[in-house]
């Protein structure tokens, strides 16, 4: 009950009225799961109703404005566009609640009789607004009974501190440069500025998102919950397929379990497999936001997965030289994709891509803008970010005194983050868009 109260108060900090939406979403999914279990003769009807109800919530609060604006653009109509403020984290908690009903439908888990425990599962504050997306069957036992230990609490604090450092010290530094460049006039962006902005955003979104996931996992440990990892060094990938096994694992896992496999997965031949993957990545793009560039980003990744499916030589293992170029290929594809993900419009994304490869204009204002971003703090952070994006930590674990050193660094980092947050004003939350 204490965790439920804390979670609802935490969510109310954004916009209090949407606490009612969170509770309502939890309740009708609790009710649908109960109906699925109590009325097995009509359980398919109930689970379809649950899917439609959850999609309706997402469409109303997240996509209404986009759909009406698109309709007006296509038809020339002048339908008023409602100004609906999107509830924070709606994509995350809606997917979580829906997975609970589907798990009950499949018989993976029993319907929870205690509504408070369902509400805790849906609203639990550590991962409520930025993930990871937790499937009910993964923490069903811990929702009902869990233990808290001093060792678990200490591990959680250390993991939370690492995530906070990722967010505050690395992502915010990268984000400031990305915002300065993406927000600059087009005449000031040349090849140097375009690449600096693209790489900065690529690092910002990874350390921002993985930092929030680390904080959620750490807070979970403190309260006796053990969430699965959400990132596994995605920038060391040698293919887009591998990238998606390492990036936002909880989202790709959710789509695999609740969309890709029900569509037939890879059981119906290569052509059907490719179609199923394209549907999944179309849904992935739409899930991220109501904008054409998100839709394009999803289809873009789907096309490269299709390419790797039909031209396996691209990802076939080879020697060190081939492995190096495969790694460069994956990074380049991901970086270009994130340009469109970050761009405010498709037009800006196309312009940015053009400047990355043809922007050989070195006017005084363009060069000056880039040099202004390359401060000593940025350059040091950039080096740290590149190192931290690789699994160097796994190698260091074998060293003597590793645990003590990491513990001291974690607490030093936590203190530095507190000082930075207390004295700074730049602390973007890029998941408002999701």
Q: What is the DSSP string of 54-120?
A: HHHHHIIIIIHHHHHHHHHHHH--------PPPPTTHHHHHHHHHHHHHHHHHTSSPPPS-HHHHHH
Q: Is 327 a catalytic residue?
A: no
- Give the separation between CA 23 and CA 249, rounded to whole angstroms: 27
What is residue 255's predicted lDDT score, i.e. its pLDDT? 93
What is residue 280's predicted lDDT score, i.e. its pLDDT? 93
SS (H, E, C) 249-275: HHHHHHHHHHHHHHHCCCCCCHHHHHH
- CA 296 to chain centroid: 17
- Give the separation between CA 62 and CA 39, rounded to whole angstroms: 32
Within 10 Å of residue 228's Cβ, how many Cβ atoms?
15
Which whole-number Å values give the CA distances from 410 to 70, 216, 379, 426, in the listed order? 48, 16, 22, 22
Identified catalytic residue from 137, 248, 288, 301: 288
pTM, two decimals, is 0.93
What is residue 185's predicted lDDT score, i.e. its pLDDT? 94
pLDDT per residue of the chain (434 residues) written in tens, 0 to 9: 999 999 999 999 878 999 999 999 999 999 999 999 999 999 999 999 999 999 999 999 988 888 898 888 888 888 888 888 888 889 999 999 999 999 999 999 999 999 999 999 999 999 998 889 999 988 989 998 888 899 999 999 999 999 999 999 999 999 999 999 999 999 999 999 999 999 999 999 999 999 999 999 999 999 999 999 999 999 999 999 999 999 999 999 999 999 999 998 888 888 888 889 999 999 999 998 888 999 999 999 999 999 998 888 888 887 888 889 999 999 999 999 999 999 999 999 999 999 999 999 999 999 999 999 999 999 999 999 999 999 988 778 878 888 888 889 999 999 999 999 988 778 888 876 66
- Give the separation between CA 191 and CA 71, rounded to whole angstroms: 37
Contact at 8 Å (CB) between 367 and 162? no
Long-range CB contacts (within 8 A, 24+) of 273-281: 273/309, 274/305, 274/306, 274/309, 274/310, 277/302, 277/305, 277/306, 277/309, 278/302, 278/303, 278/306, 280/255, 280/256, 281/305
Length of the chain: 434
What is residue 434's predicted lDDT score, i.e. its pLDDT? 64
Rounded to 5 degrees, φ, ψ at 146 are -150, 165
């Amino acid at each position: 009950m204490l965790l439920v109260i804390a979670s609802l108060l935490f969510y109310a900090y954004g916009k209090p009225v949407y606490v009612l939406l969170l509770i309502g979403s939890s309740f009708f999914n609790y009710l649908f799961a109960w109906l699925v279990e109590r009325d097995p003769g009509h359980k398919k009807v109930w689970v379809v109703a649950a899917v439609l109800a959850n999609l309706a919530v997402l469409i109303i609060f997240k996509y209404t404005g986009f759909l009406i604006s698109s309709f007006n653009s296509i038809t020339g109509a002048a339908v008023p566009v409602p100004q609906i403020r999107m509830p924070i984290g709606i994509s995350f908690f809606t997917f979580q609640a829906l997975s609970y009903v589907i798990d009950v439908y499949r018989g993976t888990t029993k319907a929870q009789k205690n509504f408070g425990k369902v509400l805790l599962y849906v609203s639990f504050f550590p991962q409520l607004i930025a993930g990871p997306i937790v499937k009910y069957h993964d923490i069903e036992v811990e929702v009902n009974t869990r233990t808290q230990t001093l060792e678990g609490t200490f591990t959680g604090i250390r993991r939370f501190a690492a995530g906070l450092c990722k967010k505050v010290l690395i992502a915010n530094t990268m984000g400031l440069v990305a915002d300065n460049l993406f927000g600059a006039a087009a005449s000031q962006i040349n090849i140097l500025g375009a690449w600096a902005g693209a790489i900065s955003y690529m690092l910002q979104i990874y350390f921002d998102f993985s930092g929030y996931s680390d904080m959620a996992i750490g807070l979970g440990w403190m309260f006796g919950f053990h969430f699965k990892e959400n990132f596994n060094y995605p920038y060391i990938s040698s293919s887009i397929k591998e990238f998606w096994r390492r990036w936002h694992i909880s989202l790709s896992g959710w789509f695999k379990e609740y969309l890709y496999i029900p569509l037939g997965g890879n059981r119906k031949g290569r052509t059907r497999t490719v179609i199923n993957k394209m549907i999944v990545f179309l849904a992935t793009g739409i899930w991220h936001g109501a904008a054409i560039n998100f839709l394009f980003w999803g289809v873009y990744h789907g096309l490269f997965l299709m390419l790797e499916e039909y031209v396996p030589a691209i990802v076939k293992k080879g020697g060190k030289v081939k492995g190096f170029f495969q790694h460069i290929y994956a990074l380049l594809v991901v970086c270009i994709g994130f340009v469109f993900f970050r761009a405010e419009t498709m037009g800006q994304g196309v312009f940015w891509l053009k400047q990355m490869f043809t922007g050989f204009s070195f006017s005084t204002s363009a060069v000056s803008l880039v040099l202004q971003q390359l401060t000593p703090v940025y350059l040091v952070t950039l080096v740290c970010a590149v190192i931290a994006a690789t699994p160097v930590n796994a190698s260091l674990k074998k060293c003597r005194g590793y645990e003590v050193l990491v513990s001291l660094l974690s607490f030093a980092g936590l203190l530095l983050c507190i000082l930075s947050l207390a004295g700074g004003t730049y602390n973007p939350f890029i998941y408002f868009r999701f």
